[in-house]
Structure 1
Amino acid sequence: MSDFSDTLALSASGMKAQSMRLRHVSENIANADTPGFHRKIVSFEEVISRGIGTGKVQAGPIRLDQSELEQIFDPSHPLADGNGNYDGSNVDLVVEIADAREAQRSYEANLKMFDQARQMSSSLLQLLRR
């Protein structure tokens, strides 16, 4: 039964990591028009237990995208400098939507793996009862 619980824990860690990624992608999309906003990037790292890789993943430290911010010309904006420019954000909506789809599909794949392991363990218990 340990293999089944390991499989459930493995897929649950993937779902948790992808949900964290989706949360930050949503924040990026929500702040696409916020002046001076830097895009958040989520990375994943393997969970190590007693010096051995477990196969589980977790969201690593959140980093800010250091690419240049978009310069927007609007002399009437309160943040505009002497030339009439201010810093926009470095969020590209096309990239964020692609990241959101990838995170969603990865989450769904982990959910299917979780469900399959649950069904297999349930079937095994039914066989052992006979």
Structure 2
Amino acid sequence: MDLRTSIDVSATGLHAQALRMRVIAENLANADSVAQTAGGDPYRRRVATFRAHLDHANGATAVQVVGITADKSPFGKIYQPGNPAADKAGYVQTPNVNGLIEMADMRAAQRSYQANLNAIEAARSMTARTLDLIK
């Protein structure tokens, strides 16, 4: 694998982790939102999914974003009979977003992003050293 290919593969990883961090930020921003109508569904947590993809142009395996899917875990419930989003029993459904899980996912995404940046920097440094040797 040449240095340009390794940079391209790392760039796909950067793109994937940046998308993952945006989705996590959206989840955290909506962690306290509830439905606008009585008995309605609140915000549903979203998750970015990826897969390995063979790039036939350069023969390397890159990261491909498959999509952003909704988490199927159940909503929480809190008793707030005065809330406009409460059902007939007085319960309000809360989003299925857990702040601790989101922060752990964010930390993992940040580390993956940094690892890809380090790989790009190493490839750039090797290219610079090679050019210095040629001089």
In structure 2, the partner of 1:109 is 115
**1:92 partner letter:** N
- Most deviating of 51-60 and 92-101: 51-60
What's the RMSD between the two structures over aligned residues? 1.7
Structure 1 position 12 matched with structure 2 position 11: yes
CA distance in 1 between partners of 2:14 and 2:25 (Å): 16
CA distance in 1 between partners of 2:7 and 2:57 (Å): 21
What is the count of residue pairs matched by the alignment? 128
In structure 1, the partner of 2:38 is none
Structure 1 position 22 matched with structure 2 position 21: yes
CA distance in 1 between partners of 2:20 and 2:28 (Å): 12
Structure 1 position 125 matched with structure 2 position 131: yes
**1:28 partner letter:** N
Taking structure 1 as the reference length, the TM-score comes to 0.92
Q: 4+ runs of 1 displaced by more than 6 Å? A: none
Taking structure 2 as the reference length, the TM-score comes to 0.89
Q: When you count helix as a share of all residues, which structure comes out higher?
A: 1
* Gap runs ≥5 in structure 1: none
Q: Do the aligned partners of 1:16 and 1:58 also contact (CA within 8 Å) in 2?
A: no
> Which runs of structure 2 are paired with 1:87-106 in the superposition (5 Å)?
87-106=93-112
Residue 99 to residue 80, structure 1, CA distance change in 2 (3 Å): same
Identity %: 37
CA distance in 1 between partners of 2:58 and 2:9 (Å): 15
